[in-house]
Amino acid sequence: MPYYASPFVAAPQFKHRELANLLVDKISASDSYLNYLTHVHRYIYDQPVLQYGFQVLPRIKDPYVKAYTHWFLKQYYGMFGKDVAAQIGTTIAAMEHLLGLGFNIRSALVNATQNVNTIAEIGLDYTIRGANQAITASPLLQRAWEKCALRPGFEEYLSLLDIHRFKTFNDLVRSSMYLFQKVEIANRKIAFFGGFLKGYEEGTKNPFVADLMKRGWTKFDAAVSYGTEVMKKTQFVYGPIGVSKYMQTAVGRPAMVFTTFPVKQLELFVDWARNNPEKLLAYIFI
C-alpha cells in the first residue's frame, strides 16, 4: 500500500513531514504500511482531543458542528493543500516571527516570566519543585512526562509557519527561535511537573484528581491529567488545536500573528476572576 493511501495522510502536504519522509524511504509496500501503522497511527491516538473528535464525529447531528469538526480534524493533519494565498499568508507570518522573535534574547527572557502564571496557579513551592525536576527529572516524573499529550507545545505552533517546499527557510525560522523554544519547553515542564507533584501528593484532597479517581483512574494517571491541565492553563495550547479557524486562514495568520498570547492570557485572567479571584490577586502582587 502506498504511504499516501491513508485518509489521514495527504502527501506532500502532510504537516508532519518527518513522518512522511520516514515512510517514503521504504521501497517495500509492506514496510511502508508497517511504518504508517507504527508512527502515524501512534501519533494520532496519542492526542486525546483527536481521539474524542473521531469518536463523536459520526454521532454529531448539527450539520454546522459536524462540518467544523470534520474541517478541524483534516486541518490538524495538514490534509488541505496550501493555495497561493495561504502560502503568501504563511510567508508573511513566518517573516514577522523571524524579525520579531528570531535571534532575540530579550523575547526568550520575557517568555520566562510566564512562570508567574504557574506560581499563581499552584503556588511557589510546587513551582520551585517543578523547576528542579525540569533540570533532572526523577524516573516517576519522567514516566509522567512521557504520558503528557501536550508535550510538543510550541513545536506545533511553529509547524503552522512552515512554507511548502522551502525547507531551508523553515529551518532558518526554527533555528532563529531556538532559545525562545528552549525557554518554552522549560516553562511547560515546570508547570507540568509542579502540577503533577501537587496532584499526586494531594491525592483525593485535590478536587480534580479526586473526581478522576472516582471514575476509576489511578492516582498516577489522574496526577498526569492534572499536571497537563495546569500546563495547558498557564502555558497555553498553541498550534492547530489552540487557535481559532480565522487565525489559520491566509488573512488571519499574518494579521493576528502576535495576538495568540494576549488572548489566552486574558482568558486566564477571566477564568481566575470568575472562579479563583485569589489567584488573580496573587498574580497581581507577585
pLDDT digits (tens, 9 = 90+) for 137-184: 899 999 999 888 777 656 666 666 676 667 787 788 878 888 888 898
pLDDT for position 191 = 96
Buried b (16+ CB within 10 A) or exposed e, 167-197: eebbeebbebbebbbebbbbbbbbbbbbbbb
pTM: 0.70
Closest by CA to 164, choosing from 91, 61, 59, 238, is 91
Q: What count of Cα atoms within 13 Å lies in the side-chain half-sphere of residue 141?
A: 23
Q: Per-residue confidence at 20, pLDDT binned at 50, 70, 90?
A: very low
For the record, the C-alpha cell of 6 comes out as 491513508
Q: Per-residue confidence at 72, pLDDT binned at 50, 70, 90?
A: confident
Say yes or no to pLDDT of 31 above 60. Answer: no
